[in-house]
Structure 1
């Protein structure tokens, strides 16, 4: 009896130690679209174990307490459409723009694997505790297991390669790294599903591509294959996502039983019969409004990033998007720029974007489930940081902030029938949460004002998820320099930064002097661009060899950055 009592006391003690109390917080009830003030949420290990009004709950003396007065607690966000095999930079889709002579594609794939942890940490830093990879490869299906128990990693759901009746030749013969499986027959489609089963994908993805000149004819020609893949996946209790951007391919997919449409219809305004079809079939739509413009703005060399993008994205991938200013294949680059910026082409793009926005508003108002997804990894759509831009595009389409929050939480969970596990703040659900400094129902920007991210019951400060490296600081200021963004440019520098002409001639001191000097240069100098020729990183020192364009003039220079306490403290220029 005594041994049993001791065991009970031991378990009780461990339970108390594992508990955290978030007190005096305003909770978001995303299903009822309601804010509930003055609540205490109890987290035991990785689950929400209790929710009560703060005045009614008794907190044990040895409990971990977080006083969240004035703060808001929301479910962790879900990005329902990403791709780990793509990095978001210029070299990640050689079928869209081919720079394999500059960077072999196998090195880009290697980089995607090497930076998977960085991507996951950035998602967590941005409050995204669940990601759904809608099209990976066998190698990434294997690699995701490395992060299944990592506290810093959002929960990952993933497909294998995309089944498609059209495969870009650049992806041929990549074996386990191939992101596409070419299927030419019903038998191929069934075999594709069966081949993925041993790696336990969470669902199956189809890339439903048509002949541009014969959209409906080619869609119906391939329909038996599409139907066979969906049926085989359902036979094995796997849901199916379909890339379908035309109304006819989307309609045929839904009629054939697909569960998840991962893009908007952009070729026509939807009619009521299509809306009712989606409702009847309970198909979820992920609109991915910003991804196309990522390509257009990159190729057209009209990229504009917010301070949020410059601070929270992978700085090296963002920086690569600006390489079109100095890569040697100027003929190809200028052809892309000219074609993209052509008035007739831009009119088509504007029309498609308007159709997507109107269709999203129509479907949302009709009660079709919408799940937020970015298609991150594509050129110009950077992992994690692009999420806010997608939310703003949804807002510009006419969705309310509550509708957007629902799409970003509980609806994302519903994609794979996980709404009983996460997506709302409720007893028994996973403790995947974000504690915010302000109310995103009033302003979506507050989703970036994160006090703490709770992932698997573990609390993270956003600043601690990804520590700034000296190289990242140097790259961030270089990106902002090339975009002429003075605030983002100054962010990595210490307030009392010193600028020297090598070896020891002091030219400027203090961030405010830098602001004055560089603001004037950004305003007055045309064609300002700094090309990084070579970089050496040694401890807290970064040495950049640069080729800088000022109008028509080019200057070769070396910049030596000394980093102290997470900021650039001194810079030495050699010209």
Structure 2
């Protein structure tokens, strides 16, 4: 038996090592030009996103990954010059609700212009990614992560961390902060006593909370000051509205959110709309786009979700129209949140179901446009609005002197043509330039990966360590 265990452990180590070698294309080679983090960008039209304007024909000086100066003329000796040829430069996009399953996905986000992510399902592997990102070992979006999802005692599932008492809750918050997680994620099933303990300890430990609303407390309970963002438009429908798509009742909820000026809201409309997409396309799991999903997630979660909704429409002929109506109501929620002045932040729930890492942010932005936001207001949700949510994110999200050089070079002005963001010519991540050819290679590597077993082993590690 011991020999068998030894063989399994050795096999697991080898499998994980091989998978890590296959993502070595993301490693920053200090001898390569792409490791350079200082540039003078010339002939570029700047969209700063701290105001609704375009700064025509400027120079941008990036020094060691930081925006040093923006001016008409800049003189710098011994610097790499990048001629933008009258293209446009914008802040990199920020996806505020993702679930990362492997390092291949980091390249997918970069390829789609996403230069920062907020991972909301923390596991030990995410701490390793964060360490490599912090130490500039890999090309990756700037990486923020919560700890494991905190739930109540009865919300059982291997993906949840079930809290049993207020003292247990406080210990977990302290542990996650000490281990390097950036944020706390609250989830279903937290009753008032345990929720209070999480909030109290988070305030003491100076760590922000991201809230997937718990059905055990009133919705307004999630407006407390230590909670910095609330996730999912659908949770407004599910909890306070109890599936009553009534705009009058909705308005009172929106009003209460708007009074809490510290709260950001992440609608994640795309992930719910993908339920509708699954219901109207029986072959969606075989589509080419799904090849970008992590193989374990595609085999388990994507299939599980598809089967659930495929069976639902077989037993209830009205379910397809009900899902579509609820999606349309989510658009209304965004309209009302925006009109009320709530800080809307772009999140996709990328990485689960059929919601693609990286690619899905462009669909999410289109939904905000459909809700009536201008292109500038849409782009704010994935740049400056996101950066205002947590103090630890204040150094990104705009093009200003002193900010981190997470930037996109795009063909056209996104304040006029939003779709230009879908295919950036170059991405600067902490000042390091990745051109379209490299970004395309990131897509190809992710599309061809076969790391189901490695992904399962990393998930098993999470169960062993966190449970």
Fold shared by both chains (TM-score > 0.5): yes
| TM-score band, normalised by shorter chain | 0.7 to 0.9
Query: Within the alignment, does 1:457 sit opposite 2:426 as a pair?
Result: no
**Which segments of 5 or more consecutive residues in structure 2 lack a partner in the other structure?**
1-35, 242-246, 450-467
* Distance in 2 (alpha carbons) for counterparts of 1:273 and 1:472: 41
- Give the Å deviation of 1:357: 1.4
> 2:82 — aligned with what?
66
> 1:135 — aligned with what?
121
Q: Secondary structure at the match of 1:150?
A: coil
> 1:387 — aligned with what?
361
Deviation per CA, 1:5-51: give whole Å up to 9, x if none. Answer: xxxxxxxxxxxx97411111111121211111111101111111111
> 1:160 — aligned with what?
147
> 2:459 — aligned with what?
none
> 1:415 — aligned with what?
389
- Give the Å deviation of 1:432: 0.7
* Distance in 2 (alpha carbons) for counterparts of 1:358 and 1:63: 49
Q: Give runs of aligned pairs for residues 249-268 of structure 1, distance below 5 A.
A: 249-255=218-224, 257-264=226-233, 265-267=236-238, 268=241
- Give the Å deviation of 1:197: 2.7
From 284, 291, 302, give the equivalent of 2:264. 284
> 2:132 — aligned with what?
146
The change in CA–CA distance for 1:247 and 1:128 in structure 2 (over 3 A counts) is: farther
> 2:103 — aligned with what?
117
Query: Within the alignment, does 1:432 sit opposite 2:401 as a pair?
Result: no
The change in CA–CA distance for 1:404 and 1:472 in structure 2 (over 3 A counts) is: closer
> 2:457 — aligned with what?
none
Deviation per CA, 1:350-409: give whole Å up to 9, x if none. Answer: 232222211111111221111111111211111111111111122122222111111101
Query: Within the alignment, does 1:196 sit opposite 2:176 as a pair?
Result: yes
- Give the Å deviation of 1:135: 2.0
The change in CA–CA distance for 1:448 and 1:247 in structure 2 (over 3 A counts) is: farther
- Give the Å deviation of 1:188: 2.7
> 1:310 — aligned with what?
289
> 2:313 — aligned with what?
340
> 2:62 — aligned with what?
43
Q: Secondary structure at the match of 2:54?
A: strand
Q: Give runs of aligned pairs for residues 224-243 of structure 1, distance below 5 A.
A: 224-243=193-212
* Distance in 2 (alpha carbons) for counterparts of 1:275 and 1:322: 36
Contact 1:126 1:462 in 2 (8 A): no
Contact 2:375 2:415 in 1 (8 A): yes
Q: Secondary structure at the match of 2:94?
A: strand
- Give the Å deviation of 1:129: 0.9
Larger radius of gyration: 1
- Give the Å deviation of 1:136: 1.5
> 2:98 — aligned with what?
82
- Give the Å deviation of 1:256: 6.7
> 2:186 — aligned with what?
206
* Distance in 1 (alpha carbons) for counterparts of 2:259 and 2:121: 25
The change in CA–CA distance for 1:440 and 1:226 in structure 2 (over 3 A counts) is: same
Q: Secondary structure at the match of 2:137?
A: coil
The change in CA–CA distance for 1:301 and 1:169 in structure 2 (over 3 A counts) is: farther
> 1:57 — aligned with what?
74
* Distance in 1 (alpha carbons) for counterparts of 2:444 and 2:148: 36
Query: Within the alignment, does 1:294 sit opposite 2:263 as a pair?
Result: no
Number of aligned pairs?
402
Choose between structure 1 and 2: higher strand proportion: 1
**Which segments of 5 or more consecutive residues in structure 1 lack a partner in the other structure?**
1-16, 85-111, 172-178, 210-218, 476-575
- Give the Å deviation of 1:343: 3.2
Query: Within the alignment, does 1:25 sit opposite 2:44 as a pair?
Result: yes
> 1:502 — aligned with what?
none
Larger RCO (CA under 8 A, 6+ residues apart): 2
- Give the Å deviation of 1:194: 2.3
* Distance in 2 (alpha carbons) for counterparts of 1:243 and 1:120: 24
Contact 1:313 1:382 in 2 (8 A): yes
* Distance in 2 (alpha carbons) for counterparts of 1:417 and 1:471: 34
The change in CA–CA distance for 1:469 and 1:46 in structure 2 (over 3 A counts) is: closer
